[in-house]
Amino acid sequence: MPDFEKMLVRSGIRAYQVLVSITDEEQYCASPCASTIRSSVEAEPMDLESRRHWEQYTKAKETMLERTHIAEARWWVVEANDKKRARLNCIHHLLAQIPTGEVPQET
């Protein structure tokens, strides 16, 4: 897969790879079904199934990061348990990647 990313970069496209990540505990607390699960009321089967597969999802994420990380388009993982801070950090990081300079004014 890194060949695809390299092809994009060689074509002049700037590739920024950002992964927003939260912990298993935060996912559980933020889940719409969390209160349902905690109150022992029947939760959606899909929600319960996704909880059972958390470790598999994590391994798949790690594999994806390893296979698609290249020097020209590195992954930047945003720890997002604090949503506001994560958004601000992400915006700050992406803006810092864009080269800036004087814009010539037409006269």
Q: What is the pLDDT of residues 56-65, one digit of tens each?
A: 988 999 999 9
H/E segment holding residue 79 = strand 75-79
What would the pLDDT profile of 11-22 be if each residue is shown by its tens digit?
A: 988 888 899 988
3-state secondary structure of 72: coil
Phi-psi sector, 8: left (phi>0), alpha (psi -120 to 50), beta: alpha
Q: How many CB atoms lie within 10 A of CB 6?
A: 15
**SS3 per-residue string spanning 23-66:** CHHHHHHHCCCHHHHHCCCCCCHHHHHHHHCHHHHHHHHHHHHH
Mean pLDDT value across residues 74-94: 92
Is the CATH number 3.40.50.300 carried by domain 2-96? yes
Q: Is the pLDDT of residue 32 over 90?
A: no
Q: Is the pLDDT of residue 80 over 80?
A: yes
Burial of 51 (0-12, 13-18, 19+ CB in 10 A): middle
Task: Give residue 102's pLDDT.
Answer: 87
3-state secondary structure of 104: coil
Tokens 């022992």 map to which residue?
Answer: 40
**This prediction's pTM:** 0.62
pLDDT interval class at 39 (50, 70, 90): low
